Amino acid sequence: MSVHAEAIEEGHGTGSLGVPNLKLAMWAFLGSECMFFGSLIGTYFFYHDHSLAGPLPKDVFSIGITSISTFLLLMSSLTMALGVDAMRRGKALRSRNFVWGTALLGLTFVGFQVFEFHHFVTEKGLTLATSLFGSSFYVMTGFHGAHVTVGVIWLSIVGWMIHKGHFGQEKAINVEVSGLYWHFVDIVWIVIFTFVYLLEFAK
């Protein structure tokens, strides 16, 4: 099979740039996602301090709890990196454990978010319709949470494929690419946590 014919097998060829198709596609997609989250976060700040009714960010955020969930998400990037590394070195079971561990940490993060939303709605009286803050906060963090959820499902499937022996060292790219996505989602959260949560208390 020529180099070229091989490149057509979806995603698994190493093409003209010397980068596998799948990885290049993920980078292009993440570029697009930067614009997506950029627009959501931009909307949040476009409307910052424009709300006509309370509660305001300072009234609802609890940095302590969110710091814990942020820490868990950061740790999940570590486990993800370890999972990718293990697969590159051909240690499938170790990789599976780290990948599933990452998914579990991600799931915990989503759990925290559900708890946070629930708390804001029932205790603090902040709903989607309360104010510009409510609308832009929930939609922005909600779409981030949805991305984490997609990541959790994805990693669970990746872990399952490793478990079943479908992904071995020669297909480490599949784990690596899910890792790229995961790190991206994590970075978006760091931006949100820093600028939306922490900065609120810096003033």
Partner 1 sequence: MASIADFARAPAPTYHMARPPKTGLMDWLTTVDHKKIGILYGLSGLFYLLVGGLEALLFRIQLAVPDNDFLTGEQFNGLVTMHATTMVFLAVMPIIAAISNYFIPLMIGARDVAFPRMNAFSFWTFLFGSLLLNSSFLFGGAPNAGWFGYAPLTGSQYSGSGIDFWWTGLAMLAISSMVAGVNFIVTILNMRAPGMTLMRMPVLVWMILVIQFLLAFSFPPITVGLILLGFDRTFGTVFYQVSMGGDPQLWQHLFWLFGHPEVYVLILPSMGIVSEILPVFTRRPLFGHHAVIFSGVAIGFMGFGVWGHHMFTVGMGPIADAAFASTTAIVGIPTGVKIFNWLGTLWGGKITFPTAMLFAVSFIPMFTIGGLSGVMHSSPPIDLQQHNSYFVVAHFHYVLVGGALQGLFAGVYFYLPKITGKLLSEKLGKVHFWVFLAGMNLTFFPQHFLGNHGMPRRIYTYPADAGWNTDNMLGTIGVILMATATLVMVYNILTSWKKGKPAGNDPWDASTLEWMTTSPPPVHNFDFTPVVLSERPLWDHKRTPGFEIPVPETSESIHMPSNSWRPMLISVCILLIMVGLLTHLWPLCIVAALGIVAGVYLWVTEPA
Residues that bind partner 1 (CB under 8 A): 1-11, 13, 15-17, 19, 21, 24-25, 28-29, 31-33, 35-36, 38-40, 43, 46-47, 50-53, 128-129, 131-132, 134-136, 138-139, 143, 153, 157, 161, 166
Cβ proximity of 131 and 124 under 8 Å: no
Residue bearing tokens 């424009």? 50
Nearer to partner 1, 23 or 91 (CB): 23
Nearer to partner 1, 66 or 136 (CB): 136
Nearest distance in Å: CB 178, partner 1: 11
Could you give the CA distance from residue 88 to residue 86 in angstroms, rounded to a whole number? 5
Q: What is the 3-state secondary structure (H, E, C) of 91-116?
A: CHHHHHHHHHHHHHHHHHHHHHHHHH
What type of residue is 172?
A
Provide DSSP, 11-48. Answer: TTSB-TTSSBHHHHHHHHHHHHHHHHHHHHHHHHHHTT
Nearer to partner 1, 41 or 73 (CB): 41
Nearest distance in Å: CB 148, partner 1: 15
Nearer to partner 1, 51 or 102 (CB): 51
Nearest distance in Å: CB 88, partner 1: 20
Nearest distance in Å: CB 51, partner 1: 6
Which residues are paired to 20 by β-bridges? 14
Nearest distance in Å: CB 198, partner 1: 24
